[in-house]
Chain A
Amino acid sequence: MKLSYQHYRRPFQFAILGLLIAIPLLNLLKVDAVQGMLCSIGAAGYEITCALGALQSMLASREINYSLLLSASVFILLAIFLGRVFCGWICPQGLLSEGGDKLRTRFFKSSRKPDSLKRYYSGRQFLLAFLGAGLLATFLMGIPVICYICPIGIICRELLQGTMLYKIGGEIIIIMIILAADVFVARRGWCRYICPVGAFYSLFTMFGMKVKRDQSSCVSCGTCQRICSMGNSPVKDEIVKTCINCGDCIDNCPEGALSFEKPSLFKSIPVIKG
């Protein structure tokens, strides 16, 4: 049997989560080759910083910090080459939300409850509106506003505090609200409509790796549309920037009509086949 993307993605997501738990523990054991969480991680003198955090930091302080730009470029480059893989493959909130999605399927087994919000808004517009508002507020207030509600940062910080200071902050409630909303209100509502981090990385996906439909073998069964947690419709070629390159549609296509297209920037890179 050919391994599906799920066979790589899920372990990868758990590996990232495991890493986030292991790093503080190892740090306590004085193994500090790798330090930091997703907001900022450093190993052997190389630093990776959350790009949105870096942008806010510079916007709020109205200063340009070149070393910060350099360390923030890693995730942006990732988005440019591979699309929003941060959301699909790395983000711990994404993993939780997918769990929430599974729960939602179980609760509303009979009919996959259609998305109540989808009828009114396109996820993409909503996302960008939140990002824009957040960045504007950041610039005007001089405080990185988005960092206050960012669930990725909260998860990392709680793991950190829980391991090192034996306490959990009240902000864990945000994660619970997001999960509850995901289950009961809108399918992966946070990721689809609000998450400014995802929105920010979506700005850089125009050249990156995308899902491509082979029209000749597609039978328009609509499985891909139903399976897509982000509300895209590969069957209608409506793969917009909310796509997180999770590969669920490719795995589930009964005809094998979907595959990843190589990044348009580097046509020479061999296609990653499903």
Chain B
Amino acid sequence: MAENKDNMQLNRRDFLKLSATGLSLTLVGFNPVLGTFQEAYAKNAPQADQWFMSVCPYCGTGCGVNVGVSNDTVVAVKGMPDHPVNKGELCILGKNLVGILNTPDRLLLPQKKVGHQFKPIAWEEATDTVATQLKETIDKNGADSFAMYVSASEYIEEYYVYNKFVKGCLGTNNLESSARLCWASGVVGLVKAFGSDSPPCCFDDIEVADLFFVAGYNPSSSKPIFFKRLMKAKKANKTKMIVIDPRRTDTAKKADIHLQIKPGTDVILFNAITRELINKGLIDEKEAKSITQDFDKLKEHVQSFTPKFAEEKTGISERQLSEVVQLIGQSKGALFMWGQGLNQSRIGTRKVTSLLNIPFITGNIGKAGAGPLAVTGQSTAMSLREVGALPNLLPGFRKVNDSQARQDIAKIWDVDPQKMSPKPGRTIPDILNAIEAGEIKALWIIHSNPAATFPDTSWVRKTLNKLDFLVVQDCYHPTETSQFAHILLPAAQWAEKDGSMTNSERGMNLIEQAVQPPGKAKTDIDIVMAVARKMGFEKQFSFQKTEDIFEEFKRCTTGRPNDINGLTYARMGKEKGLQWPVPTAEHKGTKRRFMDQKFPGKLNLAMNQHADPLEMPDKEFPLWLLTGLVNEQYHSRTRTSKIPSLNRAVSEPFVEIHSENAKALDVMAGDLLKVTSRRGQLTARAVITDNILKDAVFIPYHFSFLAGKDKSVNDLTIRSFDESAKQPEYKAAAVKIEKA
């Protein structure tokens, strides 16, 4: 791994220093390979012979990129000028995409664990082993003893193949995705409120809206291009912006009103805003009653959330609250955006549904420039919902426990509907619990890294060791997870495979294969289909090319909300970012849904109570731990750790701490701090700031044990999950801080 090599150089050179202090004396990273910058900026890059269209694989904004290829090597990446989402712009991650492809730690050959070592084997042997092992496990312990865990950055065709293989052929619904860690609460909230998973808005609403209501969301770090668009619109249209965040993030700095809320108390705030809106007569009650259910009940429910009560609990003053309420009341079209601040919580779904009450009663729904706009953190989290690569779904937003849906899908899949399980599969917390209990014996992980990203990682590592059979299919090795594998399968990654995907505004994009995968790596579809064929499902997996899979998936969407029968690869190549539903070839895509005010049913209002997180700060562990991301790294850094310029920016975790806490602990900027929770510890440098609430600390989540000892913030986080969506509660854990 490139990062390790750098560290080795550091060790040799700084042997004395390291042995003396145990750490390099840097705050934001000291990388001695200054000369070897991989300059990926299109401007300086070598001339490309050929350009292929693709979509950036990072966040859910879905920026179009052009991939420049010369001699079967990607040499340049440029923003796609005619793509409706980014119009040629790219953020710093997108600009550095070239650097992720040919890295020294690419997994090039299938490998098998013999003893404690990995030994290269042939593809034939690898797929044989996987097929026989899976068959054995399923024959012996039943289909539910197998689970597949995939990333949320795969393409529609890939999800479709996984889904067909696991749910249709193997007969278990244990197909889980890492979107669980990211947007599960948000999606469940949307489903609860709308009655179906239907993101109604589009990015063009940004320019129409006159108010942005941003809760627990920092797009300036997580979705820079989206944020830039927000800011452009804000400047041009004088759009107001309200930001709710315990940290004064860059997004908050640009806001007209920043509500620096006490962590976790969002439900109280939203209910208080709802109460004030109703009581001050700032809404049209008649209209609200016509589209929503139980309006009167809600009105009664929120009466106990007085501004005074809210001030006491959330730390937001009555004056600020009334300003916010006035802004919402006066707004003609407000966009409601939220992020992990709401989702990653034990009551994430409650927070989201409470937030959605506000657009519903103010009529900010079903019109241009108004409504909830959810931008996911991973590139294809929308696609995987359409395809149903989740334990409870089937393609086309169908439910597994619906027998009619199973029959429809079984017909398209050419499988026995009786074999398909009506029982929703396990979510990832459940899967890990089941592994610990010995109920799941075999796990197949595709491009995901739970050993780094799941809370309480030391427990996860112990659990993964209990598996009888773990297949890890990834493009890099080692990753935190790959070390536990019994079989490693080398997979192609972005730019090395083709497919299609949906971004967060339902926009469909075509991705062309730009280069051949390196070494013996194969595309995910090829690998899974090879195993499936070996297990006797030749008939179901007789696809010749990726487009055949897309055509079959199209048939699943007929008559469903995401009807894309009007799309073909050829059309997607020409018309970029068409938003579903696109039922016919003449249809021009659906920018905004529900413009006719016809919802699947009446909109559901939520009557929620606040609940504290599982672990609250106490005497022993007095600080509240918030985790989050930084611009320059992405998730568990399997990709971004390969790029020196990004690593130079942020190469190790840091602890953001309020200046008053720092004073009490006698901590200076750059001091090493030991952060301890009941589960583990982390050592990182202090960043002293007034941009965070007192008694809260912020640590970025990108680093795990491959980055060094005691660098993983997920060693501290708690295994607490949203009550209905099962999303982990990354943003609430009690910690204490000492000087290291």
Contact = CB atoms under 8 A, between A and B. Distances in A.
B21 A166 contact: no
A163 B21 contact: no
B20 A166 contact: no
Nearest to A30: B21
B17 interface: yes
Contacts, number: 13
Interface in A52-79: none
Interface residues of B, number: 6
A28 interface: yes
A28 B16 CA distance: 9
Contact of A163 (B13, B14, B16): B16
A207 B275 CA distance: 90
Given A30-B21, A166-B13, A166-B14, 10 more contacts: A25-B20, A28-B16, A28-B17, A28-B20, A28-B21, A29-B20, A29-B21, A163-B16, A164-B17, A166-B16
13 contacts: A25-B20, A28-B16, A28-B17, A28-B20, A28-B21, A29-B20, A29-B21, A30-B21, A163-B16, A164-B17, A166-B13, A166-B14, A166-B16
Interface in A1-47: 25, 28-30
B534 to A, nearest CB: 57
Interface residues of A, number: 7
A166 B21 CA distance: 15
B26 to A, nearest CB: 14
B668 to A, nearest CB: 12
Contacts of A166: 13-14, 16
Nearest to A162: B16
Nearest to A27: B20
A166 B17 CA distance: 9
A164 B14 CA distance: 10
A102 to B, nearest CB: 31
A24 to B, nearest CB: 10
A1 B480 CA distance: 70
A192 B20 CA distance: 40
Contacts of A164: 17
Interface of A: 25, 28-30, 163-164, 166
Nearest to A165: B17
A25 B17 CA distance: 9
The 6 closest A-B pairs by CB, nearest first: A28-B20, A29-B20, A28-B21, A28-B17, A25-B20, A29-B21
A166 B14 CA distance: 8
Contacts of B20: 25, 28-29
A166 B16 CA distance: 9
Interface in B1-16: 13-14, 16
A233 to B, nearest CB: 48
Interface in B393-431: none
Contacts of B17: 28, 164
A194 B13 CA distance: 39
Contacts of A29: 20-21
Contacts of A25: 20
Contacts of B14: 166
A4 B16 CA distance: 39
Contacts of A30: 21
Nearest to B13: A166
Contacts of B21: 28-30
A102 B626 CA distance: 67
A73 to B, nearest CB: 32
A166 B13 CA distance: 9
Nearest to B25: A28
A28 to B, nearest CB: 4
A264 B240 CA distance: 84
A164 B25 CA distance: 11
A164 B20 CA distance: 11
Contacts of B13: 166
B604 to A, nearest CB: 59
Interface in B82-134: none
A274 B20 CA distance: 43
B499 to A, nearest CB: 51
Interface string B15-31: 01100110000000000
Contacts of B16: 28, 163, 166
A25 B20 CA distance: 8
A100 B21 CA distance: 37
B728 to A, nearest CB: 37
A48 B684 CA distance: 36
B580 to A, nearest CB: 60
A155 to B, nearest CB: 19
A164 B17 CA distance: 8
A163 B16 CA distance: 8
Nearest to B17: A28
A30 B21 CA distance: 8
Select the residue from B13, B14, B20, B21 with max chain A CB neighbours within 10 A: B20
Nearest to A29: B20
B5 to A, nearest CB: 20
A166 B19 CA distance: 14
Nearest to A164: B17
A28 B14 CA distance: 12
A154 B652 CA distance: 36
B506 to A, nearest CB: 56
Interface string B591-612: 0000000000000000000000
B683 to A, nearest CB: 14
Interface string B275-311: 0000000000000000000000000000000000000
A166 B18 CA distance: 13
A164 B21 CA distance: 12
A189 B443 CA distance: 80
Interface string B662-686: 0000000000000000000000000
A130 to B, nearest CB: 38
A233 B16 CA distance: 48
A29 B23 CA distance: 11
A65 B16 CA distance: 38
B285 to A, nearest CB: 66
A28 B22 CA distance: 10
A166 B15 CA distance: 10
A90 B133 CA distance: 77
Contacts of A163: 16
A90 B613 CA distance: 64
Nearest to B20: A28
Contacts of A28: 16-17, 20-21
B22 to A, nearest CB: 10
A61 to B, nearest CB: 30
A216 to B, nearest CB: 59
B671 to A, nearest CB: 10
Nearest to B672: A30
B85 to A, nearest CB: 49
A23 to B, nearest CB: 13
A163 B14 CA distance: 11
Nearest to A26: B20
Interface in B448-486: none
